[in-house]
Amino acid sequence: MTAHGWCSAYPDCPPAFRHATAKAARFSSGGLLEPLHGAATLHPLTLKANPFRFMRNAVRSTQLASVPPVWQCGFTLMEVMVSLVILSASLLGLAALQALGTRYGNESYFRTQAILQADAIIDRMRANASAAATGHYTPDTIPTGYAKDCAREKCSTRELAVHDLVEWNVLNARLLPDGTGSIGIEDAIFTVRISWREIRAVDGIPEVKSLELSTRL
């Protein structure tokens, strides 16, 4: 009895045995068994002599063929070290780029504040044009204090000019590092000059920057 016939005679035959013996029962035209998942071909007499051995080998071949290969993967120490070096260089470059961007951003911010401050004092002079025409906004030295708070008390045009200059220079020092301002006049043209100190983005050396704005009232 062949292995296929033996397994067919028992209804409790395992499905793996039944599948394997069904494939083993197919003969080629030369009288040999078809290869079973890479197994060697057997003569029918071998199958008849020892069907249990054939079934065991057939089932084992079927099970091995259905199991996918397992590949071992991992990283070597050299690969990890190279990755760390590349990551460190990238982080250092990113930190330097961020610091440079911050410095350039500060330069832009300070210049914007200086322009706003120059426009503010020009607007104050236009609002008090009589005091500006008599030179109360162009003293040799900017005053550091005023006698009256013109925001709360009634002041003359001269007192208002002093109040405007003091508050303007206080804001210059508050908004700009070491910020100072001065106003000059020549041929009825007023020139507002604001200076401040900042660190250059290229080499990090402190440098005095200034902005001048000229206008005619």
Taking only the tens place, the pLDDT of each residue in 57-89 is: 555 555 545 555 555 566 678 888 888 889 988
Confidence of residue 108 (pLDDT cuts 50, 70, 90): confident
Query: Is the pLDDT confidence value at 42 over 50?
Result: no
What percentage of the chain reaches a pLDDT higher than 70? 64
18's tokens: 């039944």
CA dihedral sign, ordered 126, 129, 133, 138: negative
| 177's tokens | 């590092």
For 7, the token pair is 């397994």
Q: What is the C-alpha separation between 103 and 100, in angstroms, rounded?
A: 5
- Whether residue 91 is predicted with pLDDT greater than 60 in this model: the reply is yes
Which amino acid is present at 66?
Answer: S
What pTM does this model have?
0.55
Q: Residue 13: how many CB atoms within 10 A of its CB?
A: 14
Q: What is the pLDDT of residue 122?
A: 95
The kind and range of the H/E element at 191 are strand 189-199
Q: Is the pLDDT at 178 greater than 60, yes or no?
A: yes
Contact 121, 182 (CB under 8 A): no
**Residue 4 reports pLDDT greater than 60:** no
The whole-number pLDDT of residue 55 equals: 54
pLDDT of residue 41: 45
